[in-house]
Amino acid sequence: MDLIDTIRPLAKKTPSKILMVVLDGVGGLPLTVNGETELAAAKTPNLDALAAESQLGLAELVGAGITPGSGPGHLSLFGYDPLKYVVGRGALSAVGIGVKLNAGDVAVRGNFATLGADRIVVDRRAGRPSDEKNVEVVAKLRAAIPEIDGTPVEIYTESEHRFVVVFRAGELNEAGQGLGANISDVDPQATGVQPMRAVAHDAVSERTAFLVNTFVDRAEVALQGEPEVSGVLFRGYSDVPHFPSFDDIYQLRAACIASYPMYKGLASLVGMDVLNVEGEEDALNGKVAALEQGWAEYDFFYWHVKKTDSTGEDGNFEAKVKKVELFDALLPRLLALKPDVLCIVGDHSTPSKLASHSWHPVPLLIRSDYGRKDLASRYTEEEAQRGSLGLRRGTEIMPLLMANALKLNKYGA
């Protein structure tokens, strides 16, 4: 039985407030045997003090040995079983930047990439170009690829190396079908190899595979002469997703505070209000200000930090340590709001040692007035293993937060 079906009739409205802080990709690995992870190496006096009065544990977002994407990781944190509620990165990014998807359309998440001789992938993120460069390249692609074989093609800037393509289906066929999204990735998620060709896994997706492969070919022609942004990689194909409402399940008025479109898109799809964040992308001060300004209006806040993930993906151990320390410095402002329940967690691990997402469980912290004494004394992976929460499935986190906020009625007689 879906845990959502158990929680929905138990949920009740109360004045208490829940703050979920998601440090994206926060889990790490030591660079050497018996060394420290990024979290352990960071100087975090505020997190240490908080951990001493909280409960800690570890969370597996999807399952043992399974490396979560950001979408499945976040769905799990919000209580949606990511093996049941599946959505591609493309739809999340499209919705996050305000693009409306119609039945039969397919949205695709793209990376600008640097291709070397023989189309070998040199850099999957093209040196992380600026948003201004992204806009410039998107304009070039729009001029070169307005349509493919009669199918309208829309191209949008997301951020840095990320962009979104929407293939518009137009009229559905007699069976009510448009374009299918069941195709393989172009992105090999590795360097030193060529991009892959999209392959359809069912008949309705064959047209989409053709459109994707044609787009890749035309984009490489259009980008000739660009020193770094010389190719495109695709993954995360998706059509229009539908989810049960977060408010309907938990009886919470929920707000999202994030900068990257994908995370705002996911929050929108489950029914959260997306609050405006002032300042540069992922500016933590702007996110704190948004939280402070919206504090009186909502019961639940999802507060996202991206750069703990980006620095891990770049394989930059020291930079990830610094991003953790920047969050620690702002933590007192979050605590000053006195949330009834505070959760700090990641949506997946991104160890600098691997420079990619990994399967390792993420450290979980829950602070409320109803927690039992814990053995853990720091918010680190090693200390979390000692904590009273143990190893939890990601989908169990929301019920724990609801219980600690006294927002669940008793189950059964």
Other C-beta atoms lying within 10 Å of the C-beta of residue 280: 10
What is the chain's Cα-based Rg?
A: 22
- Span 92-105, mean pLDDT? 83
pLDDT in tens, 305-342: 999 999 999 999 999 999 999 999 999 999 999 999 99
CATH number given to 3-85+243-404: 3.40.720.10
pLDDT in tens, 347-362: 999 999 999 999 999 9
Q: Average the pLDDT over each of 139-148, 222-231, 276-285, 334-343 and give the range with the smallest value.
A: 276-285
3-state class (DSSP) for residue 154: strand
User: Please, what is the average pLDDT of the chain?
Assistant: 93
pLDDT in tens, 194-217: 999 999 999 989 999 999 999 999
With cut-offs at 50, 70 and 90, classify the pLDDT of residue 90. confident
**How far is CA 254 from each of CA 294, 341, 364, rounded to the nearest angstrom?**
10, 14, 21
pLDDT in tens, 146-171: 999 999 999 999 888 999 999 998 76
Tokens for 114, please give them.
Answer: 């640097």
- Rounded Cα distance, 20 and 283, in Å: 18
Residue 410 has pLDDT above 60, yes or no: yes
Tokens for 343, please give them.
Answer: 């959760």
DSSP 231: E
Other C-beta atoms lying within 10 Å of the C-beta of residue 299: 20
Q: Compute the Cα dihedral for 188, 87, 76, 6 and give only its sign.
A: negative
Domain-by-domain residue ranges, the chain?
3-85+243-404, 93-238
- Rounded Cα distance, 260 and 321, in Å: 21
**């064959």: which residue's tokens?**
206
Helices (H) and strands (E) in the chain, counts: 14, 14
Q: Compute the Cα dihedral for 151, 157, 158, 159 and give only its sign.
A: positive
Decide: residue 352, CB within 10 A, 0-12 exposed, 13-18 middle, 19+ buried.
Answer: buried
Residue 36 has pLDDT above 90, yes or no: yes
pLDDT in tens, 238-263: 887 778 999 999 999 999 999 888 89
With cut-offs at 50, 70 and 90, classify the pLDDT of residue 384. very high
**DSSP labels, 282-294:** T-HHHHHHHHHHH
Tokens for 78, please give them.
Answer: 């919000």
